[in-house]
Amino acid sequence: MQPLNTDRVAAAMSRAIALAYQGPRSSNPRVGCVIIDAEGVEVGAGFHHGAGTPHAEVEALAVAGAKALGATAVVTLEPCRHTGRTGPCTEALINAGISRVVFAQHDPTLEAAGGAEVLRQAGIDVLEGVGQADAEQVNVAWTHVQATGLPYVLLKLAQTLDARVADADGGPTAISGPQARLLTHQLRSQSDAVLVGIGTAIADDPQLTVREIDVRMQPLRVVMGERELPAGLRLHDDSAQTLLIGNRDPKDALRLLADRGIQQVLLEGGPTLASAFLEAGCVNEVVWIIAPTLMGAGVPSSHPLTRPFPVDVIQVAMIGNDVMVRGRISRSASSQR
């Protein structure tokens, strides 16, 4: 067997990850696969087009044809070993004469996992963990659902330098600038549901839809609270579906959303709901927008929390005149319950 050209393999993995992103979010993971020959030249590539369609490996093998013989398959996810809606990719790779498989992320599901071992037993050289962090990012919400049964929650809040989200009378106040509002639409477009508390729904009368970006489907608008949603609010318009959850418990609400197939939730406040979700260990990621102004009196961005929530920062950026800090709630914080 040819020695491994690590640069070529890393480049193929980057391309496989980019291909994976082209697939739709569905009940299946987004997966990309690139097949390279002994010289590191690409002979086939493919990605998964959503639940029920062929897996990325099968797509790439179909392009490679006879060139798959002795080649290396570079895949973002461990090839499946099970027969689900489609047959096992391990078998397809073995039958095509692939001699090496490089994959990034382990399959977290009970039924499909174990493909690496099947491939090794068939005499295929298997290398795992290449590009793992980037590949895991592609399916961060899907993987979270597999592990916990609950959707992945991203909390987005915009506050002033003195940590206010609204002025003292609590009415709608524009905190962040126009570029940050575009980011909000991007985050909504990547989510299956957008969630607010009833207080925010009434005070801000938000529409909670994706605008300025094309989306195949608007996210579900969800309002949590024990009051009726007053008539006349924009949330009643027909631009998207709205669900009222008359329950205060974050986990119960998330279970309900998981039952509807929701994998990623954008939590847009207000502070009462945000704090309740944090305390319940139900926030996975935060996007905090900080507007360069001091408001003085006003509504604080969070209620006093009973414990600290360290954040592993992913990104800090200027967005127009605002500062954005994005990060994951560190695992130790979310597991302390």
Binding site for Zn ion (CB under 5 A): 55, 80, 89
Q: Does 261 bind ligand AOF (CB under 6 A)?
A: no
Residue number, 109 or 179, with CB nearest to ligand AOF? 109
CA distances from 75 to 18, 79, 105, 252, 261 (A): 11, 7, 9, 36, 26
Burial of 124 (0-12, 13-18, 19+ CB in 10 A): buried
Residue number, 92 or 210, with CB nearest to Zn ion? 92
Stretch that binds ligand AOF, among 26-34, 176-184, 194-202, 227-235 (CB under 6 A): 26-34
Which of the residues 39, 42, 57, 268 is marked catalytic?
Answer: 57
Instruction: Report residue 95 as tokens.
Output: 């039958």
Q: Does 21 bind ligand AOF (CB under 6 A)?
A: no
Residue number, 80 or 150, with CB nearest to ligand AOF? 80
- Distance CA(93)–CA(91), nearest Å, equals 5
Instruction: Report residue 257 as tokens.
Output: 């959303």
Instruction: Report residue 103 as tokens.
Output: 């994959």
Identify residues 76-95 at the interface with ligand AOF (CB under 6 A).
Answer: 77, 80, 84-86, 89
Question: Going residue by residue from 99 to 118, which x/- string records binding to ligand AOF, judged by CB under 6 A?
Answer: --------x-x--x------
- Distance CA(274)–CA(308), nearest Å, equals 14
Helices 6-22, 56-64: crossing angle, 10 deg rounding: 120
Residue number, 80 or 290, with CB nearest to Zn ion? 80
Instruction: Report residue 317 as tokens.
Output: 């950026």
The question of whether 117 is a catalytic residue gets the answer no
Residue number, 80 or 194, with CB nearest to ligand AOF? 80
Return the beta strands (E) in 189-282 as ranges. 193-197, 220-224, 242-245, 264-267
CA distances from 245 to 227, 235, 241, 302 (A): 10, 14, 13, 22
Q: Does 55 bind ligand AOF (CB under 6 A)?
A: yes
Q: Does 138 bind ligand AOF (CB under 6 A)?
A: no
- Distance CA(38)–CA(70), nearest Å, equals 7
In this chain, which of 56, 61, 222, 324 binds ligand AOF, going by CB under 6 A?
56
Residues of this chain that bind ligand AOF (CB under 6 A): 28-29, 31, 48, 55-57, 77, 80, 84-86, 89, 107, 109, 112
**Hey, which residues are catalytic here?**
57
